[in-house]
């Protein structure tokens, strides 16, 4: 499944109401670690369809960024049934992401 880039209007449907577990990535286009993580997320998105990978650009979605108290990017959340089950800040290697997703 491809990585979804969403906005504030799509957030509730794509993340909170998702039937699949969600890896939610708050990122910025100017952020080096975000770009590195983005490449890993694209790989994960191509390799599986058990969970949804969703990206939110903090510069284009300031209300959502404030609501989620995002102060550092990348900020990653692991969401299942509308609830945050785990989170992390900074670049995470693919095996760590897979481990966290498999734990959902």
Q: What is the mean pLDDT of residues 61-85?
A: 96
pLDDT in tens, 19-48: 999 999 999 999 999 999 999 999 999 998
Cite the beta strand spans of the chain per DSSP E: 4-6, 22-27, 52-57, 75-80, 83-89
Angstrom distance (rounded) from CA 26 to CA 74:
6
Q: What is the mean pLDDT of residues 50-57?
A: 96
Domains by residue range for the chain, with CATH: 4-102 (3.40.30.10)
| pLDDT at residue 1 tops 80 | no
Catalytic, 50? Answer: no
User: What is the pTM for the complete model shown?
Assistant: 0.95
pLDDT in tens, 5-14: 999 999 999 9
Set 31, 36, 88, 104: catalytic member: 31
Set 6, 23, 34, 76: catalytic member: 34
Catalytic, 34? Answer: yes
């Amino acid at each position: 499944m491809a990585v979804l880039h969403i906005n504030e209007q799509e957030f509730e449907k794509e993340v909170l109401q998702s039937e699949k577990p969600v890896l939610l990535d708050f990122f910025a286009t100017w952020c080096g670690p975000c770009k590195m993580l983005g490449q890993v997320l694209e790989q994960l998105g191509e390799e599986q369809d058990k969970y949804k990978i969703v990206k939110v650009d903090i510069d284009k979605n300031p209300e959502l960024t404030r609501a989620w108290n995002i102060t550092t990017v990348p900020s990653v959340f692991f969401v299942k049934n509308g609830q945050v089950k785990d989170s992390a800040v900074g670049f995470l290697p693919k095996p760590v992401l897979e481990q966290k997703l498999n734990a959902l």
